[in-house]
């Protein structure tokens, strides 16, 4: 199966959660398998002042043609809250997916050039790419060395503890930011089987209590959450995506979220969910 490398970047909202969500969504598509995810790097943004980026790369195995794959990447961006503005080339973004390299060889079509035209000039693209296709080290390694080597690895000051039982589960998260903690704290340990996957989308007022209420209502409606992502956030509003399955009957759930300010991690959140027998 041909190998393709997709570069992933995010500098808005729950950056790591957006990268993981992009990998999950691409892997869930028929004809695409995500075989490897690179280390995550933190880099300075290009263009106007804006938050720092997290960058990674995904190794895909697929026979989907490059132009069709580009359409898949753009749709995935939109699902994760990205709204492209043609007039804003270097602006901040919740998620950015670029087709960097294709084992099948060079490709050029309207809106797409593979390999990416700036690949050998960007350490934040080359570093992650060589993590997932080390076989290219001989050809692309010298370019990365000329740029000063790979960017600094990102280390997340986060602690996640999960306790499960036949009655439900509890997730306790300490994280750098409230947004990261909320996005990380809603994830069941095992995906329920036997039912088709689907997504629920909500917009809520920004805040812990509103997030807690949203989780409660989604679970109470009979939707079993496998992953939750805050795909866009501002001071006043969050856009949520719940990815999971409709189980057909409501689950008894109690959601508890709170925040404290420990010395090394800014926020602590806990979620408890109890299910009907």
For the chain, the farthest-separated pair of C-alpha atoms sits apart, in whole angstroms, at 60
From the candidates 15, 20, 59, 98, give the one annotated as an active-site residue. Answer: 98
> Is the separation of the CB atoms in 277 and 234 below 8 Å?
no
Looking at the DSSP assignment, which residues form a beta bridge with residue 160?
A: 173
Active site residue 96: yes
Active site residue 268: no
C-alpha pair distances (Å), 247 with each of 156, 183, 218, 229: 34, 22, 11, 20
C-alpha pair distances (Å), 224 with each of 61, 101, 168, 208, 268: 29, 37, 12, 20, 23
What does the CA dihedral 100, 105, 111, 117 come to, rounded to 10 degrees?
50
From the candidates 93, 227, 265, 268, give the one annotated as an active-site residue. Answer: 93
C-alpha pair distances (Å), 234 with each of 5, 70, 139, 227: 31, 28, 42, 21
Three-class DSSP category at 94: coil
Three-class DSSP category at 93: coil
Closest CA relative to residue 26, chosen from 116, 95, 119: 95
From the candidates 20, 59, 79, 96, give the one annotated as an active-site residue. Answer: 96
Active site residue 265: no
Active site residue 131: no
Active site residues: 82, 93, 96, 98
């Amino acid at each position: 199966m041909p190998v393709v490398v997709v570069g992933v970047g995010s500098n808005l909202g729950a950056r790591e959660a957006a990268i993981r969500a992009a990998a999950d969504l691409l892997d869930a598509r028929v004809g695409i398998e995500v075989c490897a995810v690179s280390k995550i790097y933190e880099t300075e943004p290009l263009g106007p002042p804006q938050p720092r980026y997290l960058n990674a790369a995904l190794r895909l195995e697929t026979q989907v043609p490059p132009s069709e794959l580009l359409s898949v990447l753009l749709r995935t961006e939109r699902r994760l809250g990205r709204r492209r503005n043609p007039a804003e080339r270097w602006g901040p973004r919740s998620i950015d997916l670029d087709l960097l390299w294709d084992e099948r060889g060079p490709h050029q079509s309207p809106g797409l050039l593979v390999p990416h035209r700036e690949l050998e000039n960007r350490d934040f693209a080359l570093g992650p790419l060589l993590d997932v296709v080390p076989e290219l080290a001989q050809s692309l390694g010298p370019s990365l060395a000329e740029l000063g080597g790979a960017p600094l690895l990102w280390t997340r000051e986060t602690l996640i503890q999960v306790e499960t039982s036949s009655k439900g589960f509890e997730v306790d998260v300490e994280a750098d930011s409230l947004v990261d903690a909320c996005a990380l704290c809603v994830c069941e340990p095992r995906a329920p089987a036997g039912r088709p996957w689907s997504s629920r989308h909500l917009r809520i007022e920004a805040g812990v209590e509103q997030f807690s209420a949203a989780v409660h209502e989604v679970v109470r409606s009979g939707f079993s959450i496998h992953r939750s992502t805050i795909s866009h956030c501002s001071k006043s509003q969050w856009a949520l995506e719940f990815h999971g399955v409709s189980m057909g009957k409501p689950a008894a759930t109690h959601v508890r979220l709170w925040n404290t300010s420990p010395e090394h991690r800014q926020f602590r959140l806990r979620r408890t969910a109890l299910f009907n027998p």
